[in-house]
């Protein structure tokens, strides 16, 4: 632990140089990750349309969104602990391979018209994907320097946004020409190729031991989430991710209904998703070019999530297609920017041995919000009109992030706090020893 007045140590200080040098590993990491994202978005459009056709009810796609996000809630906690104890690379390879298997099984379920088979395959694949996400974020600090981390996170978010932009547009076009099964096959293949590329990366198996083996074996080993949430900045990022997950999921679940009622039919689903991706790309470019000073990160995250929520609420009130596409782009521009800024701040505040678990806080919050959003969309599908359901969800999310922002103040890094605690414990021990000697 650092002495009082000394700079707080970070996760990066314990990493051996080979994990943070050279462009080859980071390029392979990005290619492998991006391929799986692109494939996933190809099949998303097909699944939403198929389930709406099979069920003939908005509850069909809403149920898909529910089984897509519900298994993710526990995944980050389990995956973060496994990654800190074993290896982020190993968790990524195993989890992505499992995703490939269950994605391929969608072909059989679709041909049989088995709605529950589709739901089961989606649920299991998404649980595996949730195990992987903290490991993906934890790999980045192992492959780049601390100074390059904001740009690496921005690039990571930028690629994710372009997958949302390109994948659904291609998926919508191919769905009309070749049907859903080839899209599922491409999706499964993309997961396999991604797993193979990540398997070629250097394994940071011993990094956790070098950087913080004592932390992993100590009394905080099972309290990584609570340790992260001690930080006001981390709490703000967590609240923003929960709010974003809630509002975006409600919108996503009802997008096919909005497309049919207001924007011209199923084909519009892909174009609406594409506008989301365009906005995310612009937000990623913003984060790539500019990052707020660390003392202003909490404010910047709040303003960005507020932009996303207000724009999504406005989407429900718009009937003109060009304006609706613009508003969706604005919403994800704000969302993409705060995700990059927040992820970088959380990574920098992670003490040795806790990188994956600190990252897990982000995805636990995001997936919990998505679960609440899916339940909201499913529960209100037959009660509220789709635009009203979106507006109410955005209003509730805005209240949450405003309360968290107003009640939090900037704090010292966890490592520094632990250092002060260690000094206090040493002073207490010395006083006790002095009393015994006297």
| Percent of the chain with pLDDT strictly greater than 90 | 8
Q: How far apart are the first and last CA of the chain?
A: 30
Q: How confident is the model over 391-403, as a mean pLDDT?
A: 90
Pick the CATH number of 24-202+224-409 from 1.10.10.10, 1.10.3720.10, 3.40.50.2300, 1.20.1250.20: 1.20.1250.20
pLDDT tens-digit series, residues 53-73: 777 766 676 677 778 777 888
Torsion over CA: 169, 173, 174, 180 (sign): positive
d(CA 77, CA 255): 30
Q: Which residue would you say has higher pLDDT here, 238 or 114? A: 238
pLDDT tens-digit series, residues 344-380: 888 888 877 788 888 888 888 888 888 888 788 777 7
d(CA 235, CA 407): 10
Q: Which residue would you say has higher pLDDT here, 78 or 1? A: 78
User: Three-state SS string across the chain, please?
Assistant: CCCCCCCCCCHHHHCCHHHHCCCHHHHHHHHHHHHHHHHHHHHHHHHHHHHHHHHCCCHHHHHHHHHHHHHHCCHHHHHHHHHHHCCHHHHHHHHHHHHHHHHHHHHHHHHHCCHHHHHHHHHHHHHHHHHHHHHHHHHHHHHCCCCCHHHHHHHHHHHHHHHHHHHHHHHHHHHHHHCHHHHHHHHHHHHHHHHHHHHCCCCCCCHHHHHHHHHHHCCCCCCHHHHHHCCHHHHHHHHHHHHHHHHHHHHHHHHHHHHHHHCCCCHHHHHHHHHHHHHHHHHHHHHHHCCCCHHHHHHHHHHHHHHHHHHHHHHCCCCCHHHHHHHHHHHHHHHHHHHHHHHHHHHHHCCCCCHHHHHHHHHHHHHHHHHHHHHHHHHHCCCCCHHHHHHHHHHHHHHHHHHHHHHCCCCCCHHHHHHHHHHHHHHHHHHHHHHHHC
Residues 6+ apart with CB under 8 A from 80: 134, 135, 138, 224, 356, 357, 358, 359, 360
d(CA 281, CA 275): 10
d(CA 205, CA 115): 41
Q: What is the pLDDT of residue 96?
A: 92
Residue 144 has pLDDT above 70, yes or no: yes
Structural contact between residues 420 and 16, judged by C-beta atoms closer than 8 angstroms: no
Supply the mean pLDDT for the chain: 76
What does 102-133 look like in DSSP terms, one character per residue? HHHHHHHHHHHT-HHHHHHHHHHHHHHHHHHH
Q: What is the pLDDT of residue 398?
A: 92
Q: What is the pLDDT of residue 243?
A: 92
Structural contact between residues 365 and 245, judged by C-beta atoms closer than 8 angstroms: yes
The full set of domain ranges for the chain reads: 24-202+224-409
Q: What is the pLDDT of residue 220?
A: 43
Q: What is the pLDDT of residue 164?
A: 67
Candidates 240, 203, 239, 234; CA nearest to 347 is 234
pLDDT tens-digit series, residues 7-53: 333 333 344 344 444 567 888 888 888 888 888 777 877 787 778 77
Candidates 216, 26, 201, 54; CA nearest to 119 is 54
**Which range among 53-62, 146-155, 262-271, 274-283 has the greatest average pLDDT?**
146-155
Residue 256 has pLDDT above 90, yes or no: no
Q: How confident is the model over 165-175, as a mean pLDDT?
A: 74
Residue 281 has pLDDT above 80, yes or no: no
Residue 211 has pLDDT above 60, yes or no: no
Lowest model confidence (mean pLDDT) among 70-84, 198-212, 285-299 = 198-212
d(CA 119, CA 205): 35
Determine if the pTM surpasses 0.75. Answer: no
Q: What is the pLDDT of residue 98?
A: 93
């Amino acid at each position: 632990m650092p002495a009082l007045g000394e700079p707080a140590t970070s996760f990066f200080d314990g990493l051996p140089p080979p994990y943070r040098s050279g462009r080859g590993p980071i390029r392979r990491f990005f290619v492998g990750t991006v391929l799986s994202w692109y494939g996933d978005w190809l099949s998303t459009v097909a699944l939403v349309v198929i389930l709406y056709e099979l069920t003939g009810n908005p509850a069909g796609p809403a149920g898909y969104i529910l089984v897509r996000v519900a298994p993710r809630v526990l995944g980050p906690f389990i995956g973060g602990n496994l990654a800190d104890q074993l290896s982020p690379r190993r968790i990524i390879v195993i989890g992505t391979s499992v995703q490939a298997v269950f994605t391929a099984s969608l072909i059989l379920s679709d041909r049989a018209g088995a709605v529950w088979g589709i739901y089961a395959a989606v649920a299991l694949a998404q649980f595996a994907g949730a195990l992987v996400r903290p490991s993906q974020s934890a790999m980045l600090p192992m492959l780049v320097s601390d100074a390059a981390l904001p740009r690496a996170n921005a690039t990571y978010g930028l690629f994710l946004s372009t997958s949302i932009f390109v994948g659904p547009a291609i998926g919508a076009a191919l769905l009309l020409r070749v049907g859903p099964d080839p899209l599922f096959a491409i999706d499964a293949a993309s997961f396999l190729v991604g797993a193979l590329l990540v398997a070629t990366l250097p394994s940071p198996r011993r990094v956790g031991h070098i950087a913080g083996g004592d932390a992993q074996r100590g009394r905080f080993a099972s309290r990584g989430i609570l340790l992260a949430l001690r930080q006001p900045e981390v709490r703000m990022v967590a609240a923003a991710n929960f709010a974003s997950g809630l509002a975006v999921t409600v919108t996503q679940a009802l997008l096919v209904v909005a497309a049919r009622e207001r924007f011209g039919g199923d084909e519009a689903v892909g174009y609406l998703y594409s506008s989301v991706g365009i906005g995310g790309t612009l937000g990623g470019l913003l984060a790539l070019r500019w990052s707020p000073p660390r003392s202003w990160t909490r404010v910047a995250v709040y303003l960005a999530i507020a932009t996303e929520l207000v724009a999504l609420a406005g989407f429900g009130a718009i009937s003109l297609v060009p304006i609706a596409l613009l508003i969706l782009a604005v919403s994800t521009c704000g969302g993409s920017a705060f995700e990059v800024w927040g992820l970088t701040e959380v990574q920098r505040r992670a003490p040795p041995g806790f990188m994956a678990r600190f990252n897990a806080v982000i995805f636990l919050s995001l997936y919990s919000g998505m679960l609440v959003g899916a339940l909201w969309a499913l529960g209100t599908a037959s009660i509220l009109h789709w635009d009203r359901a979106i507006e109410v969800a955005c209003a509730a999310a805005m209240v949450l992030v405003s309360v968290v922002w107003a009640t939090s103040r900037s704090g010292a890094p966890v490592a520094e706090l632990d250092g002060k605690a260690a000094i206090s414990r040493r002073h207490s021990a010395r006083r006790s020893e002095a009393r015994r000697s006297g």
